[in-house]
Amino acid sequence: GFEASTAAKPLKCSAKVDIVLVLDGSGGCAEAGFEATKAFALQFVSALDMAADKVQLGLVVAGGPANWDAYKGCLAGSSLTGCNVRLALQLSADGSAANTAVSGLKWPGSPADVSGALSVAGAALAQEGRQDAEQIVLVMTRGRPLSRSRTALAASSLRRAGRRVAWLLLADGMNQEDIAQWASQPTRDNVFLVTPKAGAVKGQVTIEKPKTKISELLTALCPSVVVE
């Protein structure tokens, strides 16, 4: 653990890890919710020591299908075409590029094809990940996925491949039992909750003390954390 004198100071992940951040852009979060997710993601990125021998970061956006035919295809998992899932940043050690990628994201809307996003994240790690780096997929979500069963399968596939799967829940009302099953174990180190402010509109969460939550994430996920 950390000494009390350092606990309040900003932390930075300084380990050799490959992280793919999956941002849920589902319709339920609305544009304001997605902007709040982006703002938190930017603070998370700033807490990573990105370098060729340290942290590499990739970014996937989970949107959803725009029409009924695309919806049926995404639900069946037959194709990602039309599912509005995209790799917004290949694994990179460039912190400036990561900030630009997150800042430039537009809210995609529609029920999020999280299973497709997990598959894209896994492919990015398989193609660009470093063999001697821990590989982590961190999902920041505010809503329910397009398909629970396919999300469970995609998360299981990542875990079987030796990748760590962690979830940050940015809204209330989500099925925490599902997410505990989709995450790597132990749950306490891989599922993180943000409690809504009193009086907050359901699903629209303002993150209180975001730096404290980021320190919690880093302490659990990063093998080597330093005090800034």
Output the pLDDT for position 9: 76
pLDDT tens for 24-36 read 887 666 788 888 8
C-alpha–C-alpha distance, residues 16 and 219, integer Å = 15
Beta-bridge partner residues of 92: 57
pLDDT band of residue 175 (cuts 50, 70, 90) is: confident
Report pLDDT for 25: 80
Q: How many CB atoms lie within 10 A of CB 99?
A: 15
Which residue, chain included where needed, has tokens 């005090």? 227
Report which of residues 8 and 101 the model is more confident about: 101
**Assessment of whether the complete model's pTM goes beyond 0.85:** yes
Query: What dihedral angle (degrees, nearest 10) is formed by the CA atoms of 66, 72, 77, 82?
Result: -20
Whole-number Å distance between alpha carbons of 226 and 104:
29
Query: Which of 74-78, 144-148, 169-173, 200-204 is predicted least confidently?
Result: 200-204
Q: What angle do CA 216, 220, 223 make, to 5 degrees?
A: 125
Give the dihedral sign, CA 177/169/19/186. negative
Q: Over the stretch 180-200, which tens digit does the pLDDT of each residue have?
A: 999 999 999 999 988 666 555
Nearest to 20, CA basis, from 55, 64, 52, 53: 55
Nearest of 105, 107, 74, 66 to residue 88 by alpha carbon: 105
